[in-house]
Structure 1
Amino acid sequence: MPPAEGIELSRVHCRLDELLAARSMTLTRLSELVGVSLVNLSVLKNDRAKAIRFSTLTAICEALECEIGDLLVLGSVTRGN
């Protein structure tokens, strides 16, 4: 059953855009470095991913020289209103 309108939900937010910008790297270049399709990285970047493999997460963090907590953070979103 979906949550009622106006209820705040916790969700994971991917900070890929900010990390790429800070490193002057394109999503295309990251795709080449980690061997993940541009489409799949775009899904992750836009917070539409439902899951991520540990190997993919590791590869992204290695390419961006960051920690998992730099990439994924807990955010909140309010549904409805």
Structure 2
Amino acid sequence: MSPSEEDEASGVHCRLDELLAERGMTLKRLSELVGVSIVNLSILKNDRARAIRYSTLSAICRALECEIGELLVRAD
């Protein structure tokens, strides 16, 4: 694995897509509820985010009525 690939492989998987589907919620609606752009939520949903603010994480979990451990899981 090259250094750039290592940087991209965080070992964390975001289950945002699954949680949205379970709740019948769209990315657009989540964006409205948490005040985060659809683009940034999409980056998170596709496991391309390198970081997330605690306030954003908390807002997403509040909107989805889930715990952090339901949203973010180890990918290895």
* Structure 2 length-normalised TM: 0.88
Match of 1:52 in 2: 52
Partners of 1:74 and 1:45 lie apart in 2 by 15
Partners of 2:28 and 2:11 lie apart in 1 by 26
Match of 1:38 in 2: 38
Structure-to-structure mapping, 1:2-81, within 5 angstroms: 2=2, 11-76=11-76
Q: For structure 2, which runs of at least 5 residues remain unmatched after alignment?
A: 4-8
**Greater length-normalized contact order (CA 8 Å, ≥ 6 residues apart):** 1
Give the 4+ runs in structure 1 shifted more than 3 A.
Answer: none
TM-fit CA distance, 1:41:
0.1
Q: What is the CA RMSD across the aligned residues, in angstroms?
A: 1.6
SS of aligned partner of 1:25: coil
SS of aligned partner of 1:51: coil
SS of aligned partner of 2:75: strand
Q: For structure 1, which runs of at least 5 residues remain unmatched after alignment?
A: 4-8, 77-81
% identical aligned pairs: 77
SS of aligned partner of 2:57: helix
Number of matched residues?
Answer: 71
SS of aligned partner of 2:55: helix
